[in-house]
Structure 1
Amino acid sequence: MNTPADILTLKQINAMGQPEFVERLGGIFEHSPWVAEGAYGERPFESVQHLHDSMVETARKAEPTRILALLKAHPDLATRLQVTPLSAAEQQGAGLDRLTPEEFKQLTELNAAYTAKFEFPFILAVRGKNKDDIINAISRRVNRSLQEEWDQALEEIGKITRFRLEDLLTEE
């Protein structure tokens, strides 16, 4: 994903002004730079975990309409809709770019049912998972309550964003 030249240190992050901070970290939460803007005031960050916790807390404390917009900003898994480079790389790593036509149809139908029920796309941290894990997860989760899925989606976003920060930052 990132080359060594792209890796930032925590010291660099803590020294940034807000515009650069938001520019560099604004994409960690899918199409939601407001999360980085909100976390900026918590500097200096003692660790990547502290930075991540501040960002997650900013997202979780937002107004429900803003949280819903964050949820809706995530792409459906395995669709051919435009996704961010980070999402595309994550989905490719899980094999979602290599689905059979039957698997693609099944996942498309499950995504449609999920989105119709919850009004936001199915969100799952796909790193370390394969296409079968993903299809099994959405098959289970589509039958849950809205509150269970709202909470689960935010938890998954926390996992996704933690991976993204770990890929981008070093504590040295």
Structure 2
Amino acid sequence: MTDKTLTPRPSRLDKAAFVAGYGEIYEHSPWVAELAWENGLEARHDTPAALAEAMGEALSSAPAERQLEVIRAHPDLAGKAAIAGDLTDDSTREQAGAGLDQCSPEELARFERLNEAYKAKFGFPFVMAVKGSDRYAILDAFETRLENDPAEERRTAVEQINRIARLRLEARAEESR
């Protein structure tokens, strides 16, 4: 995808306007946008890729406990919040796009078991950028990542969250065309 310019242009916004416009890119974690703005935004940050890089660096360089706050702000995949309709608009679109709203009762039960096993082992929900994936690949990734150690899995979750943020920014740029 060719990078389009984001609207409104991040580099032209004051802190309050930037956080109001981009604070929800990281699930219930506007501090990531605040930190990215405080680190300095230039005209080059007006594209999804460059803004995603700046925001991703804010999260990746944060202390582990702050990273865990962001990870824990994410819903379970195909979990109770999804079934109840309590997801953010972005999460609802992303999970539906991967077919998680079409799971059979058996698949939902498997997701529930894996969600519980994962949270018991790591203390946070399984996070995966699901765009372009399907429920079968997600279930396979669940199984594989359950083998990770906690530090490796925290890093993997942060990488996935940064990927989600980039995809969300790219979608915004496309919507504003």
1:44 equivalent in alignment to 2:48: no
1:61 equivalent in alignment to 2:58: no
Per the alignment, do residues 121 and 19 of structure 1 end up closer, same or farther by CA in structure 2, a change over 3 Å counting?
Answer: same
Question: Residue 44 of structure 1: CA displacement?
Answer: 1.4
Q: Show CA shifts across 1:119-171 (max 9, x none).
A: 01000000000110011110111121112211111111111111001111369
Q: Return the TM-score normalized by structure 1.
A: 0.90
Letter paired with 2:159 = E
- Matched residues in 2 for 1:37 and 1:112: separation? 32
- Matched residues in 1 for 2:57 and 2:100: separation? 30
Query: 1:78 matched to which residue of 2?
Result: 78
SS of the counterpart of 1:127? Answer: coil
CA RMSD of aligned residues (A): 1.9
Moved more, 134-143 or 95-104: 134-143
Q: Show CA shifts across 1:43-98 (max 9, x none).
A: 11403322111101111111221111011001000013121110011000000001
Q: Return the TM-score normalized by structure 2.
A: 0.87
Per the alignment, do residues 105 and 72 of structure 1 end up closer, same or farther by CA in structure 2, a change over 3 Å counting?
Answer: same
- Give the conservation status (yes or no) of the 8 Å contact 1:26–1:33: yes
Aligned residues: 166
Question: Residue 13 of structure 1: CA displacement?
Answer: 2.2
SS of the counterpart of 1:40? Answer: helix
- Matched residues in 1 for 2:119 and 2:144: separation? 14
| Identity of matched residues, % | 38
Query: 1:9 matched to which residue of 2?
Result: 6
Which has the bigger relative contact order, CA under 8 A and spacing at least 6? 1
Query: 1:3 matched to which residue of 2?
Result: none
Query: 1:126 matched to which residue of 2?
Result: 130
1:31 equivalent in alignment to 2:35: no
Q: Give matches, 1:88-107, under 5 Å.
A: 88-107=92-111
Letter paired with 1:55 = M
Question: Residue 12 of structure 1: CA displacement?
Answer: 2.6
Question: Residue 9 of structure 1: CA displacement?
Answer: 3.0
Structure 2 gap segments, 5+ residues each: none
